[in-house]
Amino acid sequence: MHKKVFEYIDSRKGELIEFTKELVSIPTVNPPGENYSKILKILEQRCKRLRLVTKRIVVPKSVLKRYKIDSREKRICLLAKWNVGSNRTVHINGHYDVVPAGGDWHTDPFRPVVKNGRIYGRGTEDMKGNIACYLMAVSALRRYNLEPGCNLEFSFTPDEEIGGETGFGYLVKNKIINSDYGIGEGYAGRFLSYGNKGVLWFKIEVKGKSAHASKPYKGINSFEKLVAVTQELMNLNKKISKRRTVYMTRDKRDRFSTMVLGGRLWGGGETNIVPDVSGFTIDRRFLPEENITTVKRELYECVNKARKRMKDLKVKIKTIVEQDCAVCNFRNKLSNSFSKAINQALVKKAKFAIMAGATDMRFLMEKGIPCIGYSAEGGGRCHADNEYIWVKSLLDTAKIFAYVFANLKG
Ligand SMILES: [Zn+2]
């Protein structure tokens, strides 16, 4: 049966490309979160055409306020269901927002083009191409009157790129979604993801006192003090970079705990002025074996050590993003279906690994729901420039989803 389905998907290559391009050409850039209503309309129409039952869920203003989101653009989640009367439901999520198109593009990021077997454009890989794959898989099942093995429930959600609390997180935390399995973005090719490292972002700022550089004794140099704090953090970095997880990652180098200092740096202003404020950010990725509270404490302790060394140090540290690790057991029917699907579509043995960054899947995993992350293979720099997705991989991925939808039995 799946041979026919695979052939059908191959025969719809043009449509898969066109739909991906259509989604990419709507600049749903986040922040600030734009053109959401435009893309919702297109997704809704497509879902209805596939005879999925759709429903819009508006994220309340009070929730937007809590996460300091500008509410001029409404945050709306689209649910699309195919209920086959099974007592099991698999939930499939795609976020429709994209990061801003910074960097140096060879093409217009919102006018997708096909070149050398790839589609270039912002959001091709992350993750509009994948949304197109989900719906192509449904289309293939419809074509051959194949019923999915369990109920399919899709959600298309905003704001993944800024933490997901006002999109998928809202749906899960308010029990609007409560499925038996979850599927979302993740690794590609033969790799399937079943968890992620934790992510913590901090902001550190040191206050001094400005003075003219000709009379530096009248000021307090915030930059010099900041360097002292940084030294403590670099010692910690040395220590944590030796910690290694027992979980598999796609790249071996991702098995270690990491910390990036100074992703954003600010302070000072003029060469001849003693800088009164200096600051930087920290991105800390920790392992499932580490505990989020301890990880935070280690960092705060560095700052405290610096405080002890310099009595007049005025430093503030603030946590700005907090996403815990999530790992689920991957020995279940969902991962089993995916393994078989990879075997059928790619003629490869599937490999399971955890990712270095969090996706919206963590909301389901935190509830103990088994999830698999899988995406079509892309490249370029997905959060910088020249993002692309392989057309061949789009076709393979649609086949893999079609296989899973048809064969996953509750
Ligand atoms: Zn994404």
Rounded distance between C-alpha atoms, residue 38 and residue 360, angstroms: 22
pLDDT above 80 (res 166): yes
Q: How far away, in angstroms, is 274 Cα from ligand 1 center?
A: 42
- Report which residue type is found at 183: I
Cα–Cα distance for residue pair 30/37, rounded to 1 Å: 14
pLDDT in tens, 224-278: 999 999 999 999 999 999 999 999 999 999 999 999 999 999 999 999 999 999 9
User: pLDDT at position 35, please?
Assistant: 97
Report the predicted TM-score, pTM, of the whole model to 2 decimal places.
Answer: 0.91
Q: Which amino acid is at 130?
A: N
Structural domains of the chain, ranges and CATH numbers in brackets? 2-196+325-407 (3.40.630.10), 198-323 (3.30.70.360)
98-122 residue pLDDT tens? 999 988 899 999 999 999 999 999 9
Mean pLDDT, to the nearest integer, of 125-151? 97
Q: Return d(Cα 88, Cα 71) in angstroms, integer.
A: 35
The CA-CA-CA angle for residues 40, 43, 49, to 5°, reads 135
CB atoms within 5 A of ion ligand 1 belong to 126-127, 185
Nearest CA to 226 out of 262, 279, 263, 175 is that of: 279
Q: How far is the CA of 159 from the centre of ligand 1 (A)?
A: 10
As a whole number, mean pLDDT of residues 379-394 equals 87
> Could you tell me the distance, in angstroms and rounded to a whole number, from the CA of residue 161 to the centre of ligand 1?
7
For residue 312, how far is its CA from the centre of ligand 1 (angstroms)?
A: 43
Distance 245 CA to ligand 1 centre (A): 24
Ligand 1 center to residue 185 CA distance, Å? 6
pLDDT of residue 382: 61
| pLDDT recorded at residue 311 | 86
Per-residue pLDDT for 37 more than 90? yes
Radius of gyration for the alpha carbons in the chain, expressed in angstroms and rounded? 23
Cα of 93 to ligand 1 centre, how many Å? 10
What pLDDT does residue 381 have? 65
